[in-house]
Each structure stands twice: as structure tokens, then as C-alpha cells.
Structure 1
Amino acid sequence: MNEMVSTAQTILQNESNVTFVSGGIAGAVSRTVVSPFERVKILLQVQSTRAPYNNGVFKAISQVYKEENVKGLFRGNGLNCIRVFPYSAVQFVVYDYCKKNIFHVDKNSAVAQLTNVQRLISGALCGGCSIIATYPLDLLKTRLSIQTSNLENLRNSKAANTLKPPGFWQLFSKVYREEGKVFGLFRGIWPTSLGIIPYVALNFTIYEQLREYLPKEEDVNNLKSSLKQNTYMLTIGAISGGVAQTLTYPFDLLRRRFQILTMGNNELGFYYTGIYDALKTIARTEGLRGYYKGLEANLLKVVPSTAVSWLVYEMTCNSIKRL
């Protein structure tokens, strides 16, 4: 037993392992906290203009609850946590790697901080790596989120199955078998990359820049000091996530729509030949507001999610290092 504890401590003493574990825990906790907003955001993004979820975010959450109970609010969250753990962990590890091995910034170096350009580059790299590592899980999570919904243009189609919705492995097998094998599992990765890479880059850049303005951490064992520091972390995490997501949101909407284009017999009504065609079609049929469908729900999800993610990451890192 003592040997196992000693081995675990040795593993966690490796800084990359600390970053990986802390990033993964931060991602899973933060996404679970806001899971109802995540599900409603996806429903708002993929519904038609006459669909039943157009009466506001909280009414939409209430409707999902009435139709599917508590389970409906967290549908797809288990898979999302499985996806988010490596997704978030990879981001923090790659960012830390870029900082230390590409730009040679660490506690012992002459350079104390990355420049904002270096932060953007590092953030873009960690965003791209996290997409490649976890994209099929993101696609399947999106489909699990909408297949039991009451979307008018999905109802009574073979894309929906509210009584016995397929589970993860059934859905994985179906997509792989019927939609081009590996290509089908990565459907929509290009518009996803256009949204996620700048989002992650901006999130890390804004957070790290704001972190420089924080008062220096006082005695962390002092409850008042610790609470104050945690409040600062939550605030700058919320700001960084909110600003980054608002600037890149249209591509998040495209990401979801491309992920469900081939569900059933295209009952959802989206026919895009590419990203440029999608942007033109949305502007023509839905107006400029069409690019921001579900933005309110997304901000209600992203702002607390990013805030919690950064806070949990910082707290977990500190806790593991004190072991």
C-alpha cells in the first residue's frame, strides 16, 4: 500500500502529469455544472425558425425537463465528460509545453511571461491538438443531445428515436458504417477548427493577460486571502471565456450544423456545400441574427464553465503539488 502511494506521488510530481490531471478534472467539473445550458444551446443552434424552443433559454430548459425529466438536462453529459477530460487536459499540457520548450518561459528563465502574440500561437496549437484528439466524441455527443428532442423538423423522422435512443456504441457504429467510416467520425472538423482554435487562443491569451493584473497571492492558508484569490480567478476566467466565445460564436454554430447534416434524411433542413455556402445561406434565410442563434444559452454555459474550469485547474494544481 505504501509503495502504491509512493508511486502515485512520484507520478504526480512530474509537472506535465500535474497539468494533465488538473486540466482534465477542470474540464469535466466545469462542463457538468453547465450541462443543461449546453444541451439547450445545441437545440437552439440546429432547430428551424418555427421550432418549439424559441421562447428563451430558461423556458427551453423547463420544456426539456418536462419532456425528458432531469435525465434530459444531462443527456450526453457522460460522453461529454469523457471527451472533455482529454480535450481540456491536452490544451493545458500543450500550452505548458509551448511555454517551456518553444518560447522558453518558466520560473527560472530570464523571460517571466509570454507575449500576447506567443500566447495566441500557443493557444492556437493547443486548441488544434485538442480537436484532433477528441473530435469523434464531440460529434457523437452532439447527436446524442438532439436525437430525443422535440424539434419540429426532426420529429417522426428516422433521425429521432425518443423511445429507445441508440447509445454511444450503437451510434458510433452507425456513423462509422453509414457515413464514410473515419471520415464520417470527423465530419465538420474544418468549421469546428475555425471556431475552436481562435476561441482557445483568445481564452488563454485574455486569461493570462488579466492574470498579470491580479494582486500577488497572499497566504493561501488564510481563508480570507484564499477566498479573495478564488474570486479573482473566477472573474477573469468568466471574462476570458465570454469575450472569446462571443467573437468566435458563428463558427460554433456552423460546427454543430455540419455535425448533424447527415442525420436521417436531412430532416433538419440544412443543405450546405461548404463553409462559404453555409455562411451565405444562413444570411439569406435567417438574417444576421441567424449566426448567433443560441448565443444567450452559450454565454450562460461558457461564462461559468470557463470560470469554474480555470479555478478548478489552479486549485487542483496547487493541491497536487502540496501532496
Structure 2
Amino acid sequence: MAVSKEEAHLMSKDDKPIPQSALQSPISASANLASSMTSSAASDQGLLYRTRQYVATQTVAAFIAGGIAGAVSRTVVSPLERLKILYQVQGTGGPSYTGIGASLAKMWREEGWRGFLRGNGTNCIRIVPYSAVQFSSYTIYKDFFLRPGETQLDTQRRLLAGGMAGITSVVATYPLDICRTRLSIHTASLEALGKTGQRVKIPGMWETMIHMYKHEGGVLALYRGLIPTLAGVAPYVGLNFACYEQIREWMTPEGEKAPGPLGKLACGAMSGAIAQTFTYPFDLLRRRFQVNTMSGLGFKYNSIWHAITSIVRQEGLRGMYKGIIPNLLKVAPSMASSWFSYELVKDFLMALDTEKSDL
């Protein structure tokens, strides 16, 4: 059969005809392109919808909101947080920091505004995953302890769920916490350390952790003080969550789902203050063990009981509550901003699964 010149021209070098799709008219090609673009747009919308649905799930929303809440709350109270740590570790030999106002002025005079935020970067690096894990794991433990047909836990199970959430978050982020403590006191003019506000080279976070790992006992050095920390954090977090939810129920107007913004701030402030007052001695023990091997501070505790008896004998019962005043002053704004930020972000994220409009 003879092949015309036009057909021969349309044959490729290997004598295979060019596909018909390459011979489509401009109108057909435009229609196919439009169809392809529509399919791509539909696929993108499907991905966006699935992403929004995933982010709006309770655990994921709690994780994201918890991380944001932690960063906000710690930055707000960073000067008082650092001052509390300095009070806790300075011991009895001629305290360098006395009085909240005078201590803050001393910090400003010797270190400037950076002194107020010393260690806050590391603290935020620690607190974002810490708070995220804590809030999200609390929602998981709450669901685990709920019996069929229940929507709320009783006080005992709230305490248990909160305590387990506290333990989970501490174990996950403890090396960052001990590193933050070291950085917080590194530039302070503590008499026990022989420092009077002179300029010193400030180590970085990783440099501090590597030094501890190499020279203070390996991995165990990064978890020094973990036991008293867990002993204090578990009841603290349990009390904090249980008190917040109970106070929140009391302050919610009848017919409403939640209190207003000021009510939420008040709930967070009160729950944090109550929890911290009951568990503060454990927090002090945690700080003392974290600096137990630092030369100059004079702390050589062999066990938790040895630490308690030594502190009470040398510093009196009040020694177990050193730094509680700046701590309580920071707890109210810290927990208020934390809970308020958490609820605000979580409500926004969980609302995404009902919104039909594009972001």
C-alpha cells in the first residue's frame, strides 16, 4: 500500500506514527490543559482539607497550642524566672542577691537588658517541646481515663492524668532544662563563684551540654536532678491541670461553654499559684542538684534526704522556700498567659475542621 508524502512526513525515524495526542487541534489541547489544571487544583484543595483536618484534631491542636503557650509565658516572666534560680543556688555565704527590686536593679546594672533574658533562648527551646508534650499528652491521658459515656474526669483522675503528662514532658526535655539552669547563673555575680559582675565568655547551649557530657559523667550528667524534678513536677502539673479545670468550671457563666478572657487569665493565675506553693521545695531541690557539681557553690548532696536535712540544718525551714516570692510573682502572669494563649490557639485550630472557606 502506497504512503502519501503527508503520511510519510508524519512518520518518525523508527517508522512509528506520531501519537494522535500530538496532532490535536489547539481547541482540544486547551481543553485538556484546563482539565489538567482543574484536577491539580482539586488535588491541592484535597491536600489542604486533609491538612486542616489533621491540625484540627484534639491532640495535634493541643501540641501546637501548648508549644506556643509555653514560649509566650516564659518570655513574659523571664527576669523573675532567672532571679528565682539565682536565689535558689546562692546558698548562705553572703547572699549576692537580696530583695526583688534591688536584685533586678543589680542584674540590670551589671548585665543590662540582656541579663533579664539570660538563658531565655535556651528556656524557650526547652519550653516549646516541653509545653507541647505536656498539653498534648494530657489530652491523651484524659481520653485514656475516660469511662464509656463520660465527658469529664473527676478530680482524682485529673490529678493522675496531669501527673503522668508532667512526667512525660520532663523526661523528653530534661537535658535542655539543666542546660538552661547552668546558663542562667553563668554570668551572675554570685559571691560563691568569685564573680563580681565582670565580663565572662558565655558558653552556648550545645557547648554547655557537650562539656557536661565529657567532664561530668556522660549521659547521666544531663539527667542530674531528674528524680527530685519528677517528684515535684508530677504533683505540680497534676494540681495545675486539676485546679485550672475545676476553677474554670466555677467561673463559667451559666449557659456558656467557657469564661471570658479575663476569667481564663484569672483561672490560670490561681491554678498556677496553688500548684506552685504546694510543690516549691521540690523545685528548689531540682535546682540544687542541677548545680551540685559546679565548683564554688558548695553543694555536695548524696541523696534527696541528705539534701533536705542539709538545707534545713544550715538554712532553716525557710531555706526550702528560697526564691518563692519572685516565683509566685512570676507564676500568676506566667500561667495566666500560658493558659490563655493555649486556649486561644487551640480553639482556632480546632475550628478549622468546620470552616469551608479557603485559608
Cα distance in 2 for partners of 1:212, 1:48 equals: 42
Compared CA separation, residues 8 and 76, structure 1 to 2 (3 A): farther
Matched, 1:201 2:232: no
SS of 2:84's equivalent in the other structure is helix
Which of 129, 143, 156 lines up with 2:182 in the alignment? 143
Matched, 1:190 2:261: no
Paired residues of 2:178 and 2:222 also in contact (CA < 8 A): yes
Paired residue type of 2:301: Y
Which of 200, 210, 214 lines up with 1:177 in the alignment? 214
Cα deviation, 1:117-140, whole Å, max 9, x if unaligned, reads 101110110010011000000000
Provide the residue aligned with 1:251 in structure 2: 282
Cα distance in 2 for partners of 1:296, 1:258 equals: 21
Paired residue type of 1:45: Q
SS of 2:95's equivalent in the other structure is coil
Paired residue type of 2:97: Y
Matched, 1:277 2:306: yes
Q: Which moved more, 1:127-136 or 1:10-19?
A: 10-19
Paired residues of 2:268 and 2:340 also in contact (CA < 8 A): yes
Deviation at 1:92, TM superposition (A): 1.1
Cα distance in 2 for partners of 1:256, 1:131 equals: 14
Provide the residue aligned with 1:70 in structure 2: 113
Give the greater-gyration-radius structure (CA).
2
Deviation at 1:156, TM superposition (A): 5.0
Deviation at 1:322, TM superposition (A): 2.7
Paired residues of 1:149 and 1:162 also in contact (CA < 8 A): no
Q: How does 1:261-300 map to 2 (within 5 A)?
A: 261-263=292-294, 265=295, 267-300=296-329
SS of 1:153's equivalent in the other structure is helix
Deviation at 1:13, TM superposition (A): 2.2
Deviation at 1:15, TM superposition (A): 2.0
SS of 1:52's equivalent in the other structure is coil
Matched, 1:88 2:117: no
Cα distance in 1 for partners of 2:104, 2:113 equals: 10
Scaled by the length of structure 1, the TM-score of the pair is 0.90
SS of 1:251's equivalent in the other structure is helix
Cα deviation, 1:39-63, whole Å, max 9, x if unaligned, reads 0000000013312201x11221111
Compared CA separation, residues 162 and 186, structure 1 to 2 (3 A): farther
Q: Structure 1, unaligned stretches of length 5 or more?
A: 221-225
Paired residues of 1:217 and 1:229 also in contact (CA < 8 A): no
Q: Which moved more, 1:1-10 or 1:123-132?
A: 1-10
Cα distance in 2 for partners of 1:100, 1:8 equals: 23
Compared CA separation, residues 258 and 10, structure 1 to 2 (3 A): same
Paired residue type of 2:132: A
Q: Which moved more, 1:289-298 or 1:228-237?
A: 228-237
Paired residue type of 2:298: G
Cα distance in 2 for partners of 1:248, 1:321 equals: 33
Which of 75, 83, 93 lines up with 1:40 in the alignment? 83
Deviation at 1:161, TM superposition (A): 8.5
Q: Structure 2, unaligned stretches of length 5 or more?
A: 1-40, 353-359
Which protein has greater RCO, CA pairs closer than 8 Å, 6+ apart?
1
Cα distance in 2 for partners of 1:10, 1:161 equals: 54
Q: Which moved more, 1:118-127 or 1:2-11?
A: 2-11
Provide the residue aligned with 1:128 in structure 2: 167
Which of 52, 63, 72 lines up with 1:29 in the alignment? 72
Cα distance in 1 for partners of 2:201, 2:84 equals: 23
Provide the residue aligned with 1:233 in structure 2: 264
Cα distance in 2 for partners of 1:112, 1:8 equals: 27
Cα deviation, 1:3-45, whole Å, max 9, x if unaligned, reads 6755642431222110100111111100110000000000000
Aligned residues with identical type, % of pairs:
47
Cα deviation, 1:245-267, whole Å, max 9, x if unaligned, reads 0111011011001000112x3x1
RMSD: 2.1
Cα distance in 2 for partners of 1:218, 1:164 equals: 58
Provide the residue aligned with 1:223 in structure 2: none
Which of 104, 120, 136 lines up with 1:61 in the alignment? 104
Deviation at 1:94, TM superposition (A): 1.3
Deviation at 1:217, TM superposition (A): 8.0
Paired residues of 1:207 and 1:236 also in contact (CA < 8 A): yes
Compared CA separation, residues 117 and 219, structure 1 to 2 (3 A): closer
Provide the residue aligned with 1:167 in structure 2: 204
Paired residues of 1:48 and 1:152 also in contact (CA < 8 A): no
Cα distance in 2 for partners of 1:199, 1:219 equals: 29
Paired residues of 1:147 and 1:162 also in contact (CA < 8 A): no
